[in-house]
Amino acid sequence: MSDKDFGSIEYITKRAARVSESAHGRTILEQLTTALMVLMRYPRLKYSFLLPTETGLSKSILDSVKPMRDFLKDAGLHDFALQRQGIGDKVTLDGCIITENDTIQTPMSLYRPNTKTGDPRVWFFKLNQYVLPWSLLAIVTDGYTVYALDCSTDVLNNPETSVILARCNSDSNLTPFESKLLDRLRSISHKGWIPSIKHGDTAVGMTLEDELGIPPNSDRGPDWNGIELKCQRVGNNSRHVLFAEKPNWGLSAYNERELLDTFGYWDEKNKRTSLYSTIYGHHRNPQGFLLKPLASEDEMTVQYESANGTSAIEEVSVWEMEKLRTHLRNKHAHTFWIEAETRRVSGKEEFHYIAATLTRNPDYMQLENLISQGHITQDFTMHLAPATGRGKADINLPESDPRLLKTRDHGFLWKADGTGMRTLFGNGDRYNLQQ
């Protein structure tokens, strides 16, 4: 039993003592004894408790007490200390209520109200329809779903209970889809060297997706049954691409074409106007760009100032932080970060996929801090290219007319360095694909 497990038990014991004159107090201690007899069968299981009162259930409000806050933070699911006050900043997790006879999939909300100091709150949707006051809820998680076991019922009679507790107790906690994908990755690794299907930085990922039968797409969501795949060559210490997110053009001073026309440069090698720039939050880059948070608006902006400081500082592009946090959380709820050895045979690159690290539920509330510290960056990756064809209105335009040039980009990429990755994802579970 860890210190934090003991803290959860101590909280419930003290809570029961405060109502010891009523039948509720005796019932709470009886429930706690029964719950511990079940939970301690699983030595690696981490847990906490919630004790809904009559008032809490009637108002659909439960206090997220310190043991519960510690549990959520340690599981990598949520850190209340980083959450802003206000219902608009509510966070929703996958939740499930388990009783003797029912298994109810239901969202779990976490928020800090505007009132007073914004004491942390937690709520399972429709909890008051399934749970009575003073029912002890044992809270466990498999890393992405939070389960509330109603210990006032004979919850072990529900066949789902033992399955859930075993999964939450597992060292790897692999879901069926994660396990299946890991088997597929091992099979691909055992094939040895695989010829690349294209050239360039993205070849390592696209070749793997081709092996998995995933068609090329620009979908914002995860790649395979809710699991994101990210590939990198062994020895490549460059930043990891987290996701691509365009600015909110309605809030920005420039649209994409105007960014190129105003701040682009002539790329002599490729004979085109380009704008490729890595932008940091802790210093202005050589092209004059700086990432700057607007805390009052919960926004992240790119500001520009000329290198010689003669121009006024202006906001160029704007992102809403909540959209960035949501994209990060949804994109990387489950991610395999795959490593591949590389070689060239007759000038053509080949890959051998050797290892994968599984991470879940990034600490998305750290995003703004990591941007400000320079551990997460934003990349402009765009250039002007000839249009793929002329419309009727363009048929008589000369070849040099700028209206025949279209903006091409590789996404507005948000990338993390090693510190950023460790802060967001921790160490994860690493698997040798060659075994």
Section 210-235 average pLDDT: 82
The distance of Cα 126 from the centroid of its chain, to the nearest Å, equals: 26
What digits encode the pLDDT tens for the residues 85-125? 876 678 888 899 999 999 999 999 998 888 777 889 999 99
DSSP 3-state of 195 = strand
pLDDT range class, residue 371, cuts 50, 70, 90: very high
Q: Is 295 exposed, middle or buried (0-12, 13-18, 19+ CB in 10 A)?
A: exposed
Radius of gyration of the chain (CA): 26
pLDDT of amino acid 23: 56
pLDDT range class, residue 394, cuts 50, 70, 90: very low
Residue whose pair of structure tokens reads 């994660």 in the numeric block: 178
Give residue 126's identity as a one-letter amino acid code: K
DSSP 3-state of 229 = strand
Query: Bigger pLDDT: 10 or 355?
Result: 355
DSSP 3-state of 404 = helix
Q: Is the pLDDT of residue 171 over 90?
A: no
DSSP 3-state of 25 = helix
Query: Bigger pLDDT: 20 or 428?
Result: 428
Q: Is 372 exposed, middle or buried (0-12, 13-18, 19+ CB in 10 A)?
A: middle
In angstroms, the CA 327 to CA 221 distance is 9
Q: Is the pLDDT of residue 299 over 80?
A: yes
pLDDT of amino acid 282: 94
What digits encode the pLDDT tens for the residues 114-165? 877 788 999 999 999 999 999 999 999 987 789 999 999 898 889 889 888 8
Section 167-179 average pLDDT: 72
pLDDT > 90 fraction of the chain, expressed in percent and rounded: 49
**Contact between 5 and 47 (Cβ < 8 Å):** yes
pLDDT of amino acid 223: 74
Q: Is the pLDDT of residue 307 over 90?
A: no
Question: E strands, 210-261, where?
Answer: 228-233, 240-244
pLDDT of amino acid 390: 44
For the chain, the average pLDDT equals 86
pLDDT of amino acid 397: 43
Query: Bigger pLDDT: 292 or 400?
Result: 292
Number of Cα atoms under 13 Å in the Cβ half of residue 311: 11
Class assignment of domain 176-432?
A: alpha beta
Burial 72-111 (b: 16+ CB within 10 A, else e): bbebbbbbbeebeeeeebebebbbbbbbeeeebebebbbb
Q: Which of 40-44, 50-54, 276-280 has the lowest mean pLDDT?
A: 40-44
Residues of the chain with CATH 3.30.70.3570: 176-432
pLDDT range class, residue 77, cuts 50, 70, 90: confident
Interacting residues of 333 by C-beta distance below 8 A, sequence separation 6+? 144, 222, 226, 228, 360, 361
The pair of structure tokens assigned to 161 is 């209970």
What digits encode the pLDDT tens for the residues 315-348? 999 999 999 999 998 899 889 999 999 999 999 9
Phi (first) and psi of residue 208, to 5 degrees: -65, -45
Q: Which of 56-60, 139-143, 208-212 has the lowest mean pLDDT?
A: 139-143
